[in-house]
Amino acid sequence: MPAIYATGAIAEQLGISKASLQHYMTILEENGYEVRRNSRMHRQFSDEDFVMLRAFLTLNKEHGYKLKEAAQIVTEPSFKPDEHLQHTIVPAVPHVSQFEDLSNSMQLLATHVHGIEQQNMQLLTLIKEQRTQNELLIDQNHTLKQQLGAMMQHILEQANEPNPAQQRQLDRVEQQNSAIMNVLNKLNVAQNQITASVEQQPEKQSKGLFRNLLK
């Protein structure tokens, strides 16, 4: 019966993390490579899968192929893993530096960061558009206030302007006031004359002058 390895076991044998292995398998499966899965849809690796993954990592780390390029090579029907490995592959714990594993993790992180940056750019664009709309609303509000102020001023001016009937009545009142002021002025002049006469003439003569003035 062929050996079956879980994701954690095969990742340990390859010297990589489970997250890196899952990332590699996603790329391989996108190129048509299939791995057996159990009833819970967990991957189950065989010795052949282990050899394929070793060849995939060798192309990437030792021969300089990008992950997608290496995936395209190992998923070709004519691909022979032994031709790309220096010795016969048997399941064993390979020596992979921690730096290489860290590099793969950083690549995953960079992809995640790039997605966040794209979302941030979209959010900034929405904020900029909202700010522009707010400025337009402020300008429109200012214009409406000016128009309303002009309308109120015009209404007040019309309310303060009397109509022809009111104007005629105001003219009559002003004429009456002028006549009354003329009479008052004449009375003041007469009173002043009487006062001057009283100071200069006897009391009897002043009374006669007052009668004459009244007449």
Over 50: is that where the pLDDT of 78 sits? yes
Sign of the C-alpha dihedral computed for residues 172, 178, 184 and 187 taken in this order = negative
Of residues 55 and 93, more confidence is placed in 55
From residue 193, how far is each of 13, 159, 186, 188, 197 by CA, in Å? 137, 48, 11, 9, 6
User: Would you say 20 and 108 are in contact if contact means Cβ atoms under 8 Å apart?
Assistant: yes
Burial of 9 (0-12, 13-18, 19+ CB in 10 A): middle
The top-scoring range by mean pLDDT among 58-62, 110-114, 161-165, 190-194 is: 58-62
Q: Is 65 helix (H, G, I), strand (E, B) or coil?
A: coil
Most confident of 26-30, 107-111, 124-128, 134-138: 26-30
Q: pLDDT digits over 147-170, tens only?
A: 877 877 776 776 666 677 778 887
Average pLDDT in the 44-50 region?
92
pLDDT of residue 94: 41
Type of residue found at 58: T
For residue 55, pLDDT beyond 90: yes
Q: Tokens representing 182? A: 């003329």
Query: What angle (nearest 5°) sits at the alpha carbon of residue 159, between those of residues 155 and 165?
Result: 145
**Predicted local distance difference test score (pLDDT) of residue 20:** 95
What local confidence, expressed as pLDDT, does residue 205 receive? 57
